[in-house]
Amino acid sequence: MDLDLLSNILYAMVRTGTPLLLVALGELICEKSGVLNLGQEGMMLFGAVIGFIVALATGNLWLGVLLAMAAGMLLSMLFAAVALGFNANQVATGLALTIFGVGLSTFVGAAWVGKPLSGFEPIAIPLLSEIPLIGRMLFAQDVLIYLSFALFALVAWVLLKSRIGLIIQAVGESPDAASAMGLPVLRVRTLAVLFGGAMAGLAGGYLSLAYTPMWAENMTAGRGWIALALVVFASWRVFRVLLGAYLFGLASILHLVAQGIGLSIPSNLLAMLPYVATIVVLVLLSRDAIKTRLYAPVSLGQPWQPGH
């Protein structure tokens, strides 16, 4: 395998892993605060279709990105109102949100299927993108991928270093204790859910504006679900989320490469590879029970209301 091919694989790995990374980062924050939002797939799709329509109608890609995020947030606001405001079951609400989002995006986007759009183009950074092997991967991507790097750094810093991270973790571990301490549990959780919605919307926008600039029904192809699994198997650790997302990207690419070089494995089996590989690696990593307990949000998915 020559260096060029390897460099191309790494480049494609990041491109393919990015939507997953974006959703998973949002869901990570959300779950850390104790809220399980299974509506990721629905929010992604709604973000994707709104972003695409706005970009095509106005010709402004950035406006598309912005409204894709707003669309994801809008749906997550619905989730927050029902699951946090009215204290409904989070699993049921999340599932309903996904079903709703899939249907809504299909309905809204019906007239826009197959329309062409020139999406975000890669921007090669001079000199840096010339670095062998990793140059293209890191410095010749489109601007949304650069944004995903920055967002990853931001989320990692918030969770590991900042006071906000401590608060999120405290609220997710014991909302009762956090509330007794005077922390605004529901406000923290609502903000976390909204952040998750914005990230899912952004991931959807990335798909329809940069990755494959077009709109097709169900174009997320289960990435929202994989992201949910990713967060759990990454034991709620931010660097493992990054690892898992790119691993998924890598395995997706490898299956194309394997087909390209004519390996005699049925393509259906190869298509399973990204899902299987990502989960196997992360399960192996999360064997340390003590570490897992340390990062897992104990109150995940449990409805909570301030005491009276």
Partner 1 sequence: MPTPTSPPRLQLTAISKQYPGCLANDRIDLSIAPGEIRALLGENGAGKSTLMKIIYGVTQPSSGELRWHGEVMKMRDPAMARGLGIGMVFQHFSLFETLTVAENIALAMGTAAGTPKQLEPQIREVSQRYGMALEPSRLVHSLSIGERQRVEIVRCLMQDIKLLILDEPTSVLTPQEADELFVTLRRLAAEGCSILFISHKLGEVRALCQSATVLRGGRVSGHCVPAECSDLELARLMVGDAEGLESSYPKVSGGLPRLRVDDLSWHNPDPFGCSLSQIRLEVRSGEIVGIAGVAGNGQDELLALLSGETRLARGEQARVSLDGAPIAHLYPDARRTLGLAFVPAERLGHGAVPDLSLSDNALLTAFQQGLVSRGLVQRGKVRELADEIIRRFAVKTPNANAAARSLSGGNLQKFILGREILQNPKLLVAAHPTWGVDVGAAAAIHRALIALRDAGAAILVISEDLDELFQISDRIGALCSGKLSPLAATAHTEAVEVGRWMAGEFAPVAPSHSPAAAPAAAPL
Binding mask 183-222 for partner 1 (x = CB under 8 A): x---------------------------------------
Min dist. Cβ of residue 230 to partner 1 (A): 21
List the one residue out of 157, 129, 132 whose CA is nearest residue 145: 129
Separation CA 11–CA 135 (nearest Å): 9
User: Closer to partner 1 at the Cβ: 54 or 170?
Assistant: 170
Q: Does 182 bind partner 1 (CB under 8 A)?
A: yes
**Residue selected from 153, 154, 180, 272 as contacting partner 1 according to rule CB under 8 A:** 180
How far, in Å, are 142, 189, 200, 278 from residue 61 at the CA level? Answer: 12, 31, 17, 32
Alpha-carbon Rg of the chain, whole angstroms? 19
Please identify, using beta-carbon distances, which residue of 110 and 180 lies nearer to partner 1. Answer: 180
Per rule CB under 8 A, is residue 179 in the interface with partner 1? yes
287 makes contact with partner 1 (CB under 8 A): no
User: Smallest distance from the beta carbon of 181 to partner 1, in angstroms?
Assistant: 5
Which one of residues 57, 125, 133, 181 is an interface residue with partner 1 (CB under 8 A)?
Answer: 181
* Nearest approach, Cβ of residue 231 and partner 1 (Å): 16
| 128 vs 160, beta carbon nearer partner 1 | 160
Closest to partner 1 by CB, 63 vs 164, is 164
Residue 199 corresponds to which tokens in the numbers above? 């990230």
Give the side-chain half-sphere CA count within 13 A for 282: 30
Q: Is 160 in the site for partner 1 (CB under 8 A)?
A: no
- Nearer residue to partner 1 within complex by CB, 153 or 177: 177
Least CB distance from residue 84 to partner 1, whole Å? Answer: 18
- Judged by CB under 8 A, the residue of 1, 107, 150, 163 near partner 1 is 163
In angstroms, the CA 119 to CA 122 distance is: 10
Helices (H), the chain: 3-32, 40-58, 61-79, 90-109, 134-139, 143-161, 163-173, 175-180, 185-206, 223-233, 238-260, 267-285, 289-295
Only one of the segments 97-105, 152-160, 175-183, 237-245 lies at the binding site for partner 1 (rule: CB under 8 A); that segment is: 175-183
The window from 127-135, 163-171, 261-269, 278-286 that contacts partner 1 (CB under 8 A) reads 163-171
Rounded to 5 degrees, φ, ψ at 15 are: -60, -40
Q: How far is the CB of 27 from partner 1 (least distance, A)?
A: 19
Structure tokens at 287: 């064997």
Nearer to partner 1, 3 or 163 (CB): 163
Considering beta carbons, is residue 261 or 289 the nearer one to partner 1? Answer: 289
Q: How far is the CB of 228 from partner 1 (least distance, A)?
A: 21
The answer to whether 251 touches 270, Cβ cutoff 8 Å, is no
Number of residues engaging partner 1 in binding (CB under 8 A): 23
* CA–CA separation, 52 and 74 (whole Å): 16
Q: CA dihedral in degrees (216, 221, 224, 228; nearest 10)?
A: 180
Q: For residues 91-106, b (16+ Cβ closer than 10 Å) or e, as one string? A: eebbebbbebbbebbe
Q: Which residues bind partner 1 (CB under 8 A)?
A: 163, 166-167, 169-170, 173-174, 176-183, 289-290, 293-295, 298, 307-308
